[in-house]
């Protein structure tokens, strides 16, 4: 565990130190995300913060390569090298999008390319556990397309929640930490590429967060969100998609099979993806059409301040992650039921009253001001790629 904490500290420290340098570079080079009627921040803000995060990843993995506990991981498999290669592609596409803009098809092509490089390097889904059926081996005709879909889904899920200052960084730190705990306690997972990648992701998120929390001084941009999504995708594939061990600990743990662990830890981003797709299809719009109706925008609409909305999303992510870990490691329906009731109680106490008592008045930061106000200053500031989330 000490080795993982060291890698975490290195990744967080390197990212924290690199971010102001990237911010200065962005200001000098004109890498600025400016307000508009389709964006939700009021001031021009430097972007491409994903470059600092990528620097943190490189430094952390470089240090891990020199540590005896992890050096064997680099030698016995191509997982970590493949993760760096795919991440480089995603960061490159993201930087171009941050600076000049890339079409939805162009970004999708870059994501598919990154997934293809992972597959060529041997990183793909090989196993799938189905309750009652046991572990099924996936042949390439099924494993390859599922791997591509998995990578694209996670990358875009992270991108979609990057709509408020610090939201994506904080939620991905929670998700990565939860996945690390699961992998560290899984059979053979105490020293694994999945646990190491999760540690690095959590570290770069924590290191970047002080510069990105409201009011953000720099946005991670698509370069950052795609980097985080790509690394988490590799971690989940390596950690659970190739894990031949069945669930243990009783029938309750069956609910926490490896694939569901990942889905539930990332439940809020995936839910936002599904809701966005359904919403746009019902309106006859393309699924890549940008809007301001994501979950975090709704929280602003019902009266939460910017920071309250972000912290509330953190809380929900932590509750979901904690409940999933409890299901995985505790064989007791009573304990799980208690956790679920606590989670429900917190949700009702924080969100439902605002929905019920909502009035027609406009609230600060809800992005619903009068047209003339929006044209002058825009809605509340938001982090990451500040255009309307795709």
Q: From CA 120, how far away is CA 221, in angstroms rounded?
A: 28
Each residue of 64-99: pLDDT tens digit? 999 988 988 888 888 999 999 999 999 999 999 999
Averaged pLDDT for residues 138-151: 90
| Those residues with Cβ within 8 angstroms of residue 274's Cβ, 6 or more apart along the chain or in another chain | none
Mean pLDDT for the stretch of residues 225-234: 93
Sign of CA dihedral 55, 59, 60, 64: positive
Q: Which residue has the higher pLDDT, 216 or 14?
A: 14
Cα–Cα nearest to 199, from 235, 225, 170, 237: 235
pLDDT surpasses 80 at 190: no
Domain boundaries, the chain: 2-376
Q: Specify the 3-state DSSP secondary structure of 130.
A: strand
Could you tell me which residues are beta bridge partners of residue 127? 137
User: Model's pTM, two decimal places?
Assistant: 0.76
- What residues form DSSP beta bridges with 134? 130
The per-residue pLDDT for range 315-367, each reduced to its tens digit, is 877 877 777 777 777 655 556 666 666 666 666 555 554 544 443 444 444 44
266, 157 Cβ separation under 8 angstroms:
yes
Q: What is the pLDDT of residue 283?
A: 67
Write down the pLDDT at residue 198: 94
The per-residue pLDDT for 324 is 73
């Amino acid at each position: 565990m000490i080795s993982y904490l060291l890698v975490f500290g290195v990744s967080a420290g390197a990212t924290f130190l690199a971010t102001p340098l990237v911010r200065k570079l962005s200001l000098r080079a004109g890498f600025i995300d400016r307000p508009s009627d389709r964006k939700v921040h009021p001031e021009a803000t430097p972007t491409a913060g994903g470059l600092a995060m990528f620097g943190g990843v490189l430094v952390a993995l470089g240090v891990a390569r020199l540590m005896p506990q992890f050096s064997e991981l680099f030698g016995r498999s191509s997982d970590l090298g493949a993760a760096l290669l795919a991440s480089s592609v995603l960061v490159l596409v993201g930087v171009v999008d941050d600076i000049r803009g890339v079409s939805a098809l162009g970004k999708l092509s870059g994501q598919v390319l990154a997934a293809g490089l992972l597959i060529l390097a041997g990183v793909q889904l090989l196993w799938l556990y189905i309750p009652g059926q046991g572990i099924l081996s996936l042949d390439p005709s099924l494993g390859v397309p599922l791997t591509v879909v998995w990578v694209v889904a996670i990358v875009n899920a992270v991108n979609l929640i990057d709509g408020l200052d610090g939201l994506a960084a904080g939620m991905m730190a929670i998700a990565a930490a939860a996945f690390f705990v699961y992998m560290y306690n899984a059979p053979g997972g105490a020293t694994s590429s999945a646990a190491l990648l999760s540690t690095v992701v959590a570290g770069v998120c924590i290191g970047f967060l002080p510069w990105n929390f409201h009011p953000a001084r720099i946005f991670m941009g698509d370069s950052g969100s795609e980097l985080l999504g790509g690394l988490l995708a590799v971690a989940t594939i390596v950690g659970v998609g190739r894990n031949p061990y069945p669930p243990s600990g009783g029938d309750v743990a069956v609910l926490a099979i490896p694939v569901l662990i990942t889905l539930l830890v990332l439940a809020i981003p995936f839910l936002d993806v599904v809701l966005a797709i359904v919403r746009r299809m019902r309106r006859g719009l393309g699924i890549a059409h940008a809007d301001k109706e994501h979950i975090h925008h709704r929280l602003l609409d019902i009266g939460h301040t910017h920071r309250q909305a972000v912290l509330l999303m953190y809380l929900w992510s932590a509750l979901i992650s904690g409940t999933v870990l409890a299901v995985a490691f505790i064989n007791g329906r009573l304990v799980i039921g208690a956790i679920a009731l606590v989670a429900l109680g917190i949700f009702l106490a924080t969100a439902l009253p605002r929905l019920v008592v909502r009035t027609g008045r406009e609230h600060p930061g809800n992005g619903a001001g009068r047209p003339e106000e929006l044209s002058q200053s825009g809605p509340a500031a938001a982090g990451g790629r500040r255009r309307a989330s795709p």
